[in-house]
Amino acid sequence: MVENSELRKAGLKVTLPRVKILQMLDSAEQRHMSAEDVYKSLMDAGEDVGLATVYRVLTQFEAAGLVVRHNFDGGHAVFELADGGHHDHMVCVDTGDVIEFFDAEIEKRQKEIVREHGFELVDHNLVLYVRRNAAKP
Name the binding residues for Zn(2+).
92
CA dist list (Å): 32 to 13, 69, 70, 104: 24, 9, 9, 23
- What is residue 96's DSSP assignment? -
Cα separation, 53 vs 21, in Å, equals 10
Name the binding residues for Fe cation.
86, 88, 107, 124
Name the binding residues.
86, 88, 92, 107, 124
